[in-house]
Amino acid sequence: MPYRSKAEREAASFMTWTEILAHVKNTEQCDETEARRQIGAAIEDNALFVRWADERKTPIGWSPMQPPRDEPPRSAAYWQKCKTRGNLVLEPPPYDRGSVGKRTAARLDKKRRFRKPLFQRFQANELWPLATSKVPNDKSQNECARKECS
């Protein structure tokens, strides 16, 4: 078995946006809208962990001025309607739309960027398990054959 680096093992434990979307669509046999709804609901209910691939690390130590945490939104509505480019999603606006003017909103929107969310693979597989085909084993086939013969 070839050696896999820590970065490779960590990458294998996460799913990208397109992977989780395809996974949910395949397991639930649904369209993208329904898959996005289910993913958003799981994130909002804290059943599915999500983080940014390029997240800022929080500094070690204590200071009265702590920077805000660099986390993806937990709102189901965001995940249902977010703009995407492959594995990237447009980060949410850093302001409340009702509290800023159009010019300020336009200026702040220019600073928004597309970021790569990562989802825990084991959680996705628990929430949306792949269907396994039920193949009877030899023992059950023998029992069925005996019942038919008697």
Map out the domains of the chain as residue ranges.
Answer: 6-59+67-131
- Rounded Cα distance between 21 and 16, Å, is 9
pLDDT band for position 135 (50/70/90)? very low
Provide the pLDDT for residue 81: 94
Q: Are 51 and 13 in contact (CB under 8 A)?
A: no
Provide the pLDDT for residue 109: 85
pLDDT band for position 59 (50/70/90)? low
**Per-residue model confidence as pLDDT tens digits over 11-32:** 789 999 999 999 999 999 999 9
Q: Are 17 and 118 in contact (CB under 8 A)?
A: no
Task: Between 55 and 59, name the one with better pLDDT.
Answer: 55
SS3 for 50?
strand
Q: Are 78 and 92 in contact (CB under 8 A)?
A: yes
Most confident of 11-15, 42-46, 99-103: 42-46
133 pLDDT above the threshold of 50: no
Nearby residues of 120 by Cβ (< 8 Å), 6 or more positions away: 13, 14, 15, 48, 49
What is the chain's length? 150
Q: What is the mean pLDDT of residues 75-101?
A: 90
- Rounded Cα distance between 30 and 22, Å, is 10
Provide the pLDDT for residue 76: 96
42 pLDDT above the threshold of 70: yes
Q: Which two tokens stand for residue 64?
A: 């009265």
Q: Are 93 and 108 in contact (CB under 8 A)?
A: yes
140 pLDDT above the threshold of 70: no
| % of the chain with per-residue pLDDT over 70 | 80
**pTM, two decimal places:** 0.74
